[in-house]
Amino acid sequence: MRYSNYTIDIPSGATIREQIENRGMKQKEFALRMGLSENHISRLINGQVELTQDVALRLESVLGIPVSFWNNMEVIYLEKLKCIEDKDDMDIKK
């Protein structure tokens, strides 16, 4: 999660973490079901890697939440992140 004087952006990973916790899954089990490494899942949850179309498809398969939800969430996150970076840059130039 990243904060600015203007907005807060929450990576898709926060929602993924919430979903796997609500299902009583451990990260290791989730990684196995997703067919991804635990390291990649950790980085995804912590917002260190972008949520790709492939991952969105896997999330739909494992969690039952539509690809469109994940894609929209990622687009919104990246837009807010860019907005925060732009505003931070403007503040630095002042």
Give CA angle at 13 (88, 62), nearest 5°: 155
- Sequential pLDDT tens for the chain (94 residues): 544 454 555 778 999 999 999 999 999 999 999 999 999 999 999 888 889 999 999 999 999 999 999 999 888 888 887 887 777 666 666 6
Residue 30 structural domain: 2-93
Tell me how crowded residue 49 is: count the other CB atoms within 10 A of its CB. Answer: 16
What's the CATH code of the domain at 53? 1.10.260.40
Tell me the two tokens of residue 34: 């997703």
Closest by alpha carbon to 31, among 23, 19, 22, 40?
Answer: 40
How many structural domains is the chain composed of?
1
pTM: 0.78
